[in-house]
A and B are shown apart, each in its own frame.
Chain A
């Protein structure tokens, strides 16, 4: 429903601004061009997106995702000590993190939900500190190879669409760190008040 409001707001504001600034012709053209651009963009990014999805799938089948999941276990044990006591929860969380890293959103969400359900048992509808951490971890993107963005850049005529990778990694790491630290800090403050 939120998007219905955003869309209506944008279209109505465009109409009003177009009337005020006398750019209504341009607005009318832009509406049709925008729809056209969406299909053109989709076509020109389709090849690269499919290729990289294929490469990621090969890595997945070769066991990269389970190797990544194993590599993250010690870190997750320290971050979520209570949830990690349950072996199955820890397995779901580490698979969730490794699927996120590989950009396999379709695989990551069900795994994360399975872990969240197990962690929510017996907490009466209020999220535990560790469940908050798991969700914050999932709201911050940590992706090794953002294929969609690379294909948008390539579609716009960029010859080195992956050159932003180090910048993406740096920004992701900073963002995840601040998210986790904020969650820790706020949970302590909340307890102090109780």
Chain B
């Protein structure tokens, strides 16, 4: 038996028992949450259809490779694999776009490959920066954003470099 096979059953049981102890109707919470998950998914499917079409055309035509080699020497100095270039470019602009590119990278290289893992960690440790800034400042009526954008992009870049570093640290290359 693998120790990591314990994690999921134990977590599920612990959450259920803890909830019952708090007299919470955990079953209706579970199904309500699952419904929420479904609405999230429904909202991303149309975008995924459009974006995965474009991304796989981009890969098949050789344009992806060209874009990656273009930035390869710069990225190597930062300790990043050049294959993730398209993901880094689209990440601050579009959340669904980043999901599509990362999915393509994970499928092409395997989920347990170095590149597949780096893509997943990058997706998990960064946000759709420009969208978030637009939503927050737009609704607060702010038009002078001052140093927000440079600081947020510095956080993104750190997240990218740290993702590759963290994957090497925990899994090797």
Contacts and interface: CB of A to CB of B under 8 A. Distances in A.
A2 B94 contact: yes
B82 interface: no
Contacts, number: 334
Contact of B33 (A10, A53, A126): A53
A119 B148 CA distance: 15
Interface in B90-149: 90, 93-94, 97, 99-100, 102-103, 106-107, 110-112, 116-117, 120-127, 129-130, 132-133, 135-137, 139-148
B125 A135 contact: no
Most chain B CB atoms below 10 A, which of A7, A31, A117, A152 = A152
B15 A143 contact: no
**Which interface class (under 10, 10 to 19, 20 to 34, 35 or more) fits A?**
35 or more
B154 to A, nearest CB: 4
B34 interface: yes
A7 B107 CA distance: 21
Interface of B: 4, 7-8, 11-12, 15-16, 18-19, 22, 24, 26, 29-38, 40-41, 44-45, 48-63, 66, 90, 93-94, 97, 99-100, 102-103, 106-107, 110-112, 116-117, 120-127, 129-130, 132-133, 135-137, 139-148, 150-152, 154-156, 158-159, 162-163, 165-167, 169-171
